[in-house]
């Protein structure tokens, strides 16, 4: 009888321990108890994002090699921008990869189609990326507050024109509308850059940028009556612009934003490419005067802001770069609103201390 009582007590103790562990897990992950959403580990989400980006890059390389052999099979759509088989293969790797790892998350992609894939045979991405093992901390968020934005092939037009230095795969995890995680993978340079806002950036972002830097310069001269415009010692402002969006409207916007400065407009392709250059201080600003899709912007914005830069909608700006109008942030919480129509201005990280911003509601997103 004594042995039976000890056995019952042991079973009760084990049950209590398991129950306590489950309760701690629920509290730790902020998992709702009424079935509204699920807890998601940010560390695991970043691990999966990095691996899927690199796997998608391998698909792009594979299709690029195949296109050299059979060029007629590379492009499947004459839309602007065009769609290639590499776009669809990369999209399948990303979208199905996320669905397999986190089936409850909503993924928004530039491509509505994917290459055929055997979902059961698709390898499950690792939830423990080696680059993140040194990180001791983690955060868990409600899946309802998360939206994943992916661009399977940023720079498709340049991909078809063999300007491969601009081509990237992009994944961004937005939390409550704000970019939290950003991953940029450049398959033809075999380089990956990632950032976890207010936590850590990849070692590749701390090193000298190991990418081909190809920029076309257009000099936008200051008006001769502006004081200091003719001063040769005055440093010119370097403003990145899109290769496909040069014109009078952009020149006019640049003059309004920087009326007292001489400006060099440096054109390049790929929003991710330009935001990476800006994050590394290789330019002062990135100006885009027209509409842009949010999957082109989100990952690069996450990296830029993790490095200390900032990106604002042009709705926030007055007639010059020091305007203190209402700050209008680009919001990434609605999959249906995938286009930002007001243009934006991005600023490189400042070498000097910047004024503190008002605290946000969630400490994970404050800077």
Whether residue 238 sits in one domain with residue 165: no
Output the domain CATH number for residue 50.
3.30.540.10
With respect to residue 174, please indicate whether it lies within any of the assigned structural domains: yes
Of residues 61 and 212, the one with the higher pLDDT is 61
Q: How many domains does the chain have?
A: 2
According to DSSP, residue 252 is labeled: H
Whether residue 61 sits in one domain with residue 143: yes
Q: Do strands 146-154 and 106-109 pair parallel, antiparallel, or not at all (unpaired)?
A: parallel
Question: Is 151 a known ligand-binding residue?
Answer: yes
User: What pLDDT is attached to residue 344?
Assistant: 92
Question: Is 110 a known ligand-binding residue?
Answer: yes
Residue 31 CB neighbour total at 10 angstroms: 17
| Residue where a domain stops, chosen among 186, 206, 226 | 206
Say how far apart CA 133 and CA 140 lie, in whole Å. 17
29 pLDDT tier (thresholds 50, 70, 90): very low
Tell me the average pLDDT across 277-289.
Answer: 93
For 136-194, give the DSSP string.
----EEEGGGEEEEEEEEETHHHHHTT-GGG-EEEEEEEETTEEEEEEEEETTTTEEEE
Whether residue 181 sits in one domain with residue 107: yes
Whether residue 335 sits in one domain with residue 290: yes
The string of pLDDT tens digits covering residues 156-183 is 999 999 999 999 999 999 999 999 999 9
Question: Is 154 a known ligand-binding residue?
Answer: yes
The string of pLDDT tens digits covering residues 75-88 is 555 555 678 889 99
Whether residue 173 sits in one domain with residue 49: yes
Say how far apart CA 176 and CA 47 lie, in whole Å. 20
Say how far apart CA 130 and CA 152 lie, in whole Å. 23
Q: What is the mean pLDDT of the chain?
A: 79
User: What pLDDT is attached to residue 218?
Assistant: 67
Whether residue 226 sits in one domain with residue 121: no
Whether residue 228 sits in one domain with residue 195: no
The string of pLDDT tens digits covering residues 221-276 is 543 333 333 344 467 899 999 887 666 777 888 888 888 888 888 889 999 999 99
Whether residue 178 sits in one domain with residue 154: yes
Say how far apart CA 310 and CA 259 lie, in whole Å. 21
Question: Is 231 a known ligand-binding residue?
Answer: no
199 pLDDT tier (thresholds 50, 70, 90): confident
Query: pTM of the full predicted structure?
Result: 0.79
Question: Is 216 a known ligand-binding residue?
Answer: no
According to DSSP, residue 196 is labeled: E
Are 227 and 272 in contact, with CB atoms under 8 Å apart? no
With respect to residue 18, please indicate whether it lies within any of the assigned structural domains: no
Tell me the average pLDDT across 102-127.
Answer: 83
Tell me the average pLDDT across 132-145.
Answer: 90
User: What pLDDT is attached to residue 341?
Assistant: 82
User: What pLDDT is attached to residue 148?
Assistant: 97
Share of the chain above pLDDT 90, in %: 45
With respect to residue 361, please indicate whether it lies within any of the assigned structural domains: no
Whether residue 220 sits in one domain with residue 182: no
Whether residue 198 sits in one domain with residue 166: yes
> What is the extent of the structural domain holding 124?
39-206
| Residue where a domain stops, chosen among 206, 233, 253 | 206
Whether residue 308 sits in one domain with residue 229: yes
With respect to residue 136, please indicate whether it lies within any of the assigned structural domains: yes
Output the domain CATH number for residue 222.
3.40.190.80
- Choose the weakest-confidence range: 22-31, 190-199, 324-333: 22-31
With respect to residue 188, please indicate whether it lies within any of the assigned structural domains: yes
With respect to residue 173, please indicate whether it lies within any of the assigned structural domains: yes
Whether residue 72 sits in one domain with residue 201: yes
With respect to residue 6, please indicate whether it lies within any of the assigned structural domains: no
With respect to residue 356, please indicate whether it lies within any of the assigned structural domains: no
């Amino acid at each position: 009888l004594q042995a039976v009582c000890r056995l019952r007590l042991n079973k009760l103790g084990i049950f209590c321990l398991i129950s306590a562990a489950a309760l701690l897990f629920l509290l730790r992950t902020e998992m709702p108890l009424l079935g509204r959403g699920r807890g998601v580990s940010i560390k695991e989400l970043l691990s999966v994002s990095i691996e899927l980006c690199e796997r998608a890059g391998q698909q792009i390389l594979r299709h690029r090699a195949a296109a050299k052999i059979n060029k007629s099979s590379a492009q499947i759509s004459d839309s602007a921008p065009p769609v290639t088989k590499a776009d669809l293969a990369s999209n399948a790797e990303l979208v199905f990869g996320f669905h397999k790892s986190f089936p409850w998350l909503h993924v928004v992609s530039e491509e509505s189609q994917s290459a055929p894939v055997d979902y059961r045979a698709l390898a499950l991405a690792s939830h423990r990326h080696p680059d993140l093992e040194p990180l001791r901390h983690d955060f868990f968020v409600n899946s309802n507050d998360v939206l994943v934005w992916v661009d399977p092939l940023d720079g498709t037009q340049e991909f078809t024109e063999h300007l491969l230095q601009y081509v990237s795969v992009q994944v961004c995890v937005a939390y409550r509308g704000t970019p939290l995680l950003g991953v940029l993978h450049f398959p033809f340079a075999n380089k990956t850059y990632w950032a976890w806002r207010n936590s850590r950036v990849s070692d590749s972002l701390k090193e000298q940028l190991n990418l081909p830097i190809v920029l076309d310069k257009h000099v936008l001269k200051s008006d001769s009556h502006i004081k200091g415009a003719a001063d040769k010692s005055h440093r010119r402002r370097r403003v990145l612009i899109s290769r496909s969006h040069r014109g009078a409207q952009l020149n006019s916007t640049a003059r309004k934003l920087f009326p007292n400065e001489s400006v060099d407009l440096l054109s390049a392709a790929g929003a991710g490419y330009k935001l990476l250059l800006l994050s590394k201080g290789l330019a002062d600003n990135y100006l885009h005067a027209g509409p842009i899709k949010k999957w082109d912007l989100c990952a690069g914005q996450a990296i830029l802001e993790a490095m200390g830069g900032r990106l604002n909608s042009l709705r926030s700006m007055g007639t010059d770069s020091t305007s203190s109008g209402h700050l209008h942030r680009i919001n990434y919480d609605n999959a249906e609103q995938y286009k930002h129509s007001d243009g934006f201005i991005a600023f490189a990280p400042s070498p000097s201390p910047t004024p503190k911003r008002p605290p946000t509601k969630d400490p994970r997103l404050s800077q």
